[in-house]
Structure 1
Amino acid sequence: MAPRVLVADDLSSEGVALLQQAGLTVDVRVGLPPAELERVIGEYDALAVRSATQVTARLLERATRLKVVGRAGVGVDNVDLEAATRRGVVVMNTPGGSSTTVAELTLAHMLALARHVAQATASVKAGRWEKKKFQGRELAGKTLGVVGIGNIGSIVVARCLAMKMRVVAYDPFISADAAAQLGVTQVALEDLWPQADVISLHVPLTEQTRNLVDAATLRRMKKGALLVNCARGGVIDERALAEALASGHLGGAALDVFEKEPPPPDHPLLALDGFICTPHLGASTEEAQAAVAVAIAQQLAAYLTRGEVKNAVNLPSVPREVLDRLAPYLALAERLGSLAAQIAPASIGEVRLELAGELSRAPHRVLAAQVLKGLLRHVLDQPVNEVSAPAIARERGIVLREDLNPEARDYVAELTVTLRGGGGEAVVAGTVFGRHELRVVRVNQFRLEAVPEGDIIMCENDDAPGVVGRLGTALGQAGVNIARIYLSRDAERRSAFSLINVDSAPGQEVLEALRRLEHVRAVRSIRL
């Protein structure tokens, strides 16, 4: 009997045809009320949705035959992932289906800014003919600065190189060789701002990228530069951007995304002539919608007919009985990858994993995938999971090396992650106490036993009396509560180190105050 697929949301005819051509029985029943969907879901092996259908725990309880849910699009907010995982239901999405569409919108904004398209259109419609007022500039020969060269950023790079632009780029997680193959010149982030005539952002919104473009960054940009953001709202300090435009320092800005959507009517950017915007249209083209439908149909067919998995967001690639034993180490691996990403040197070219002791006999590829997932999710403008992370790393020229050491060191099982690139390296290691207690046991040369969770302040200082007290006093005065503090020092007792778990993320003012304390060398905010 052929597997049965229920298409519960609008899916292009091309997608439905692909499912049928694979020999699957397909029922298209769009807009079923929740009660009716719950009544019939037990008859199906696969469910194809977009964003309208809510795949709840209640629905999944009735889906006794269901093997896979396919989401035609990126987000899976409408799917209860925890419930699906508990029931062994694979959830897939289509993270790359709209990359070209978003890149093309980015180009549209660049060209519209350079040639004043929106403003000139409004002027003509108002009955004016102001050729001199709207004299523009050519992009050919200008320098484009791209922050983040993932799927979307790399497409923008290719298109702009074809327009004879020079491209400089910042992306700490792509090797020099991979950047050279794309045709870009890698630069430090602080060097990108003053070089670029046009700047395009392609980064996810994380604690590290929130307000990445603030007032200080805007001041470092070339006078008259154009700024485009079709990535995520919140990456730009929008009030600082309004001030930079109003002062004439920037030549123009274009946003497809806002920190708050829709923006309020009195948003200062909306009153400025040098500003253009669109209502989050990044993936809104007929082609992109068809592409994600075709992609999810291909993925569902491959899984149902051949057992192949692509873009799964919740599928562990180990047997259930092994997963139960390995689960805490999978969580540890992701957090070590995340921690390493936040202290890593630029231009990572190599990720080295060492599995020591009992861990050397575990399925090392699934642990490596979790490390890469934790690492890459801090820098990509696209979703990443344990299935896609290894392939993305390879595409970006990151070499993965694995060392299996059956000999136990300080712990029965220990995982060490080393990131190398840019002339330096970062090393973190961890283990599991008991059955579920995760611990970081090494950060670079410092040994300790710290809990890797939540907001963390990392501090390196001279090994001198009073530093810890001054740190605690400064945090207390700033209203930042310390949950735990872990201390270490190097063998020569010249340097000391602390990881401080805090109840809330410290602001930049707090971090700067800590950096000014006597004997403090470096302070960093970490989010795990």
Structure 2
Amino acid sequence: MSAPRILLVENIHEVAKEKLLDEGFKVDLIAHAPSEEELLKLLPNYDVLGIRSKTEITKKVLENNKHLLTIGCFCIGTNQVDLKVAREEGVPVFNAPHSNTRSVAELVIAEMIALSRQLGDRNTKAHVGEWVKSAAGSKEVRGKTLGIVGYGHIGSQVSILAESMGLKVVFFDVLKKLPLGNAVAMSTLEELLKVSDFVTLHVPETPETKDMMGAKQFAQMKKDSYLINASRGTVVVIEDLVAALKSKHIAGCAIDVFPEEPASNKEKFQSPLQGVSNVILTPHIGGSTEEAQYAIGMEVAESFRRYLKIGSSSGAVNFPNVDLPVKHGTSRLLNVHKNQPGVLGEINSIISRAGANIEGQFLSTDERIGYLVMDVHSSHAQSLAEEIEKLPRSIRTRVVY
């Protein structure tokens, strides 16, 4: 088999390209986020695509590029990919759920202190010659209560850092989570909002989290409390937040993500939050540290390597997960098929008729598809794969070695 061709977009860290080149893949790297039209022109020349958060992988892109083997999101979120269609096309989507955890957590802690000390406003005024030396409205964070909404990888890391600084930590999550340190789980979002001096959001973008923080929730927050959002822009109703800030019910906010964001650094950014006092606005940089981007590049590149060379799908967000060892002395066939009765029997019949011995077989399924990995002793692995591919319920079949 020829080496898979990989396209990395949105200025993914160079380490990903270096790692993949070292593995013998062909890799191209571009700096911008391609539009749907550009992707339709580019992707026929590639087998694998790596993106960040700005590139939209639509149903049209996927259905017109059925040859794509896998997609990697070099970030945490995967909502920019039509995961359902990708699964139906047999395309696993990988992401990097752990690599930027510390970077986002550190930014949240920094913003919490900056808001409590009004550093944004005082910095801006000092730059234009105003000397605002006053303790009014400036407070320590020690002894205050931090409410964390979403107690996953990032939320729990924020919890540890905040508690080490002397804050009391409470959290709310729709799933039952083990509290770290002295953190206390709240039964409802409302309960958390009522007791928190700082509220930080760490939830994914889902129909349930869309507009989760609006006028009702801001009214439930403590007077003179602060909001931090480094999760997803659709979680907060910006107009309602502006109203809560201008009424002085909320003392300030730090927002890193927005409902609408510029597609590139060359576009102008606009938000109703601009010009409001004690508001820190950052351009979606929660995970934008050199350390995080390096780690993300390594993590997703490794997922590519394991899937392309071994067939391991562990970590895929839309695909049955199989974690595989390398089996020497055999050929490995990978098959994605519709999860319907009788498919496995049809495949095994093909192997049996060819007189090939199955050394090992791994199957993982979800409600829509099955992922079958077979290690066989046969010099005709490619022809077997081609015959299996012709089965009416096969989605894709390939040989990795």
TM-score by length of 1: 0.53
SS at match of 1:16: helix
Judging changes above 3 Å, is the alpha-carbon distance between structure 1 residues 89 and 156 closer, same or farther for their aligned structure 2 residues? same
- Report Cα offsets for 1:247-283 as digits up to 9, x if no partner: 322222222223344698572x333213222232223
- Report Cα offsets for 1:299-325 as digits up to 9, x if no partner: 112223332223323323596556134
CA distance in 2, matches of 1:210, 1:47: 28
> Which residue pairs with 1:323 in the alignment?
339
CA distance in 1, matches of 2:74, 2:260: 25
Are 1:220 and 2:236 matched, yes or no? no
Contact 1:152 1:202 in 2 (8 A): yes
> What does 1:377-396 correspond to in 2, within 5 Å?
none
Judging changes above 3 Å, is the alpha-carbon distance between structure 1 residues 306 and 138 closer, same or farther for their aligned structure 2 residues? same
Task: Work out which of the residue numbers 272, 275, 280 in structure 2 matches 1:271.
Answer: 275
Contact 1:224 1:250 in 2 (8 A): yes
Amino acid at match of 1:200: T
Are 1:294 and 2:298 matched, yes or no? yes
CA distance in 1, matches of 2:56, 2:261: 22
Contact 1:141 1:165 in 2 (8 A): yes
> Which residue pairs with 1:444 in the alignment?
none
Judge which range, 30-39 or 123-132, deviates more: 30-39
CA distance in 2, matches of 1:34, 1:244: 41
Q: How far 1:229 sits from its partner (Å)?
A: 1.5
> Which residue pairs with 1:29 in the alignment?
28
Contact 2:148 2:201 in 1 (8 A): yes
> Which residue pairs with 1:60 in the alignment?
65
Q: Which has the higher contact order (CA 8 A, sep 6+)?
A: 2
Judging changes above 3 Å, is the alpha-carbon distance between structure 1 residues 109 and 16 closer, same or farther for their aligned structure 2 residues? same
Q: How far 1:117 sits from its partner (Å)?
A: 1.0
SS at match of 1:70: strand
SS at match of 1:241: helix
Q: How far 1:225 sits from its partner (Å)?
A: 1.3
Q: How far 1:184 sits from its partner (Å)?
A: 0.7
CA distance in 1, matches of 2:56, 2:276: 39
SS at match of 1:160: helix
Judging changes above 3 Å, is the alpha-carbon distance between structure 1 residues 326 and 141 closer, same or farther for their aligned structure 2 residues? farther
> Which residue pairs with 1:169 in the alignment?
171
SS at match of 2:93: strand
Q: How far 1:119 sits from its partner (Å)?
A: 0.6
Judging changes above 3 Å, is the alpha-carbon distance between structure 1 residues 130 and 320 closer, same or farther for their aligned structure 2 residues? closer
> Which residue pairs with 1:113 in the alignment?
115
> Which residue pairs with 1:14 in the alignment?
15
Judging changes above 3 Å, is the alpha-carbon distance between structure 1 residues 53 and 19 closer, same or farther for their aligned structure 2 residues? farther
- Report Cα offsets for 1:435-455 as digits up to 9, x if no partner: xxxxxxxxxxxxxxxxxxxxx
Judging changes above 3 Å, is the alpha-carbon distance between structure 1 residues 11 and 122 closer, same or farther for their aligned structure 2 residues? closer
Amino acid at match of 1:102: V
> Which residue pairs with 1:72 in the alignment?
74
Q: How far 1:294 sits from its partner (Å)?
A: 0.7
SS at match of 1:293: helix
> What does 1:76-95 correspond to in 2, within 5 Å?
84-85=86-87, 87-95=89-97
Judging changes above 3 Å, is the alpha-carbon distance between structure 1 residues 314 and 213 closer, same or farther for their aligned structure 2 residues? closer
Contact 1:8 1:53 in 2 (8 A): no
Judging changes above 3 Å, is the alpha-carbon distance between structure 1 residues 172 and 13 closer, same or farther for their aligned structure 2 residues? closer
> Which residue pairs with 2:376 in the alignment?
none
Are 1:196 and 2:212 matched, yes or no? no
Contact 2:211 2:237 in 1 (8 A): yes
SS at match of 2:114: helix
Judging changes above 3 Å, is the alpha-carbon distance between structure 1 residues 276 and 49 closer, same or farther for their aligned structure 2 residues? closer
Amino acid at match of 1:257: V
Identity across aligned pairs (percent)? 31
CA distance in 1, matches of 2:253, 2:182: 25
Judging changes above 3 Å, is the alpha-carbon distance between structure 1 residues 307 and 102 closer, same or farther for their aligned structure 2 residues? same
CA distance in 1, matches of 2:195, 2:85: 49
> What does 1:231-380 correspond to in 2, within 5 Å?
231-261=231-261, 267=272, 269-316=273-320, 320=336, 323-325=339-341, 366=365
> Which residue pairs with 2:356 in the alignment?
none
- Report Cα offsets for 1:153-188 as digits up to 9, x if no partner: 11111110111111011123124xx12x44311123
- Report Cα offsets for 1:77-102 as digits up to 9, x if no partner: 77665665455443323233333222
CA distance in 1, matches of 2:254, 2:296: 26
Judging changes above 3 Å, is the alpha-carbon distance between structure 1 residues 366 and 233 closer, same or farther for their aligned structure 2 residues? same
CA distance in 2, matches of 1:322, 1:36: 29
Q: CA RMSD in A?
A: 3.8
TM-score by length of 2: 0.67
Judging changes above 3 Å, is the alpha-carbon distance between structure 1 residues 2 and 11 closer, same or farther for their aligned structure 2 residues? farther
CA distance in 2, matches of 1:196, 1:109: 16
Q: How far 1:74 sits from its partner (Å)?
A: 4.0
Contact 1:3 1:304 in 2 (8 A): no
Structure 1 gap ranges (5+): 328-362, 371-385, 388-528
Judging changes above 3 Å, is the alpha-carbon distance between structure 1 residues 205 and 94 closer, same or farther for their aligned structure 2 residues? closer
Judging changes above 3 Å, is the alpha-carbon distance between structure 1 residues 109 and 26 closer, same or farther for their aligned structure 2 residues? same
CA distance in 2, matches of 1:184, 1:222: 19
Structure 2 gap ranges (5+): 263-267, 323-334, 344-361, 372-401
Judging changes above 3 Å, is the alpha-carbon distance between structure 1 residues 70 and 258 closer, same or farther for their aligned structure 2 residues? closer
